[in-house]
Structure 1
Amino acid sequence: MTCTLILMRHAKSDWNLATLNDHDRPLNARGREGATAMGHWLRAQGHLPDAALVSSATRTVETFDRLGFDVPATITRDLYLQDSHAMLDLLRKATAPTVLMLGHNPGIAEMAWQLCAKRPAHLRFADYPTCATLVVRFDVDGWNDIGWHKGQPMDFATPSDVI
């Protein structure tokens, strides 16, 4: 079996709403445009998730909605500002062959760095900007068998690459 992870950081959020706490911040106009564009890019590349794991923060849920994938989604606070180890623990419980995981930095960037056997040659991979998306494949029997530095990167893009 092959397991494929689509690892995405939420799109650009709106910092102009000072009264909202961090968890409740929505996307700004640029973020909405970027999330929609990344959904189109993923489809054009043939990267279609079977299921999604999404942080419960407003900006990650909005990002997921704008991607336009009609797949079962687990919206969970367990991905909100988590480190890569907590994120990996959650991913190992997945059952679908292709999973979209949508969360936050620094955890998303840490996870991307640690999952790839070889890092993509993209200039923005190191800082993993908003809505950056890595597609990484594992030749394993199931998600419980994935580990650090075992994934083969298939694609990496940011909204500025596709808009």
Structure 2
Amino acid sequence: MKRVIVLRHAKSDWSDAALRDFDRSLNDRGHRAAAVMGRWAAHHGLTFDAIIASPAARVVDTLRHFREAYGACPEPAYDLRIYLAAGTTLAEVLAETREPASSILLAGHSPGLEELILTAVPDDARSPLRDSVETKFPTAALAVLDFDVTDWASLAHDFAGRATLRSFMRPRDLDPALGPDQR
């Protein structure tokens, strides 16, 4: 089994309309949400052998706050292919992970992260967590996927229906002030 902890970047700052999408960092709510999610992950014993992430400013900033709140963890490896990638591209990036890593934190963007989750987790009536992801995978949300594979390389060719969604947590589930339309 291989575990992928999927983290969407936190709420980005749109105050400077002249900035390129890639260069937008986080707003204050995003900083708070990333830290809340880092504390939650640490408290729930989520561990990872590596971090693979988009190099976009909002992801870099999310990981900085997440890691500060989480505690000691690996340094991120930034991969430009993750920036606005489709789910299949994300699976290909994961497939390049070197053994013996058994758990990866993957930090990136919508809609590719949702596409990865929704393709990897079978669509059946017994998965309220999957239904929640399908409804909305908001900023700073975190999902834990366990893939029924023995090696990372197999994800390059066959990741559809191979995962179980173990948990799905949104910042607003931990702090209502981090919910929609909250400041």
Q: Settle same-fold status: TM greater than 0.5.
A: yes
What is the one-letter code of the residue matched to 2:118?
Answer: W
3-state SS of 1:19 partner: coil
Q: Which runs of 4+ in 1 moved over 3 A?
A: none
The runs of 5 or more residues in structure 1 that have no matched partner are none
In the TM superposition, residue 71 of structure 1 has moved relative to its aligned partner by 0.3
Pick the aligned partner of 2:146 from 137, 146, 155: 137
Q: Deviation of residue 118 (structure 1)?
A: 5.1
- Output the CA distance in 2 between the equivalents of 1:65 and 1:93: 24
| CA distance 1:94–1:129, change in 2 (3 Å) | same
- Please name the residue that 2:13 is paired with: 14
SS in 1 for 2:25: coil
Q: Percent identity?
A: 31
- Return the TM-score normalized by structure 1: 0.93
Residues 113-132 of structure 1 aligned to structure 2 (within 5 Å): 113-117=118-122, 120-122=127-129, 124-126=132-134, 127-132=136-141
Structure 2's unaligned 5+ residue stretches are 176-183
In the alignment, is residue 151 of structure 1 matched against residue 151 of structure 2? Answer: no
- Matched position secondary structure for 1:6: strand
Q: Secondary structure at the match of 1:13?
A: coil
Deviations 1:64-105 (A, max 9, x none): 111115203211211111111111110101122110111111
The structure number with the bigger radius of gyration is 2
Matches within 5 A, 1:45-124: 45-68=44-67, 69-95=72-98, 96-117=101-122, 120-122=127-129, 124=132
Question: How many Å separate the matches in 1 of 2:16 and 2:102?
Answer: 38
CA RMSD, aligned part only? 1.5
Query: Does the CA-based 8 Å contact 2:49-2:74 persist in structure 1?
Result: yes
Equivalent residue, structure 2, for 1:160: 172
Q: Matched residues in 2 for 1:76 and 1:153: separation?
A: 24
Q: In the TM superposition, what is the alpha-carbon distance from 1:45 to its structure 2 partner? A: 1.5
Structure 2: which amino acid aligns with 1:48? T
Instruction: Give the whole-Å Cα distance in 2 for the aligned partners of 1:128 and 1:60.
Output: 15
Does the 8 Å contact 1:3/1:137 carry over to 2?
yes
Amino acid at match of 1:4: R
Q: Between Structure 1 and Structure 2, which shows a larger proportion of helix residues?
A: 2
Secondary structure, aligned partner of 2:52: strand
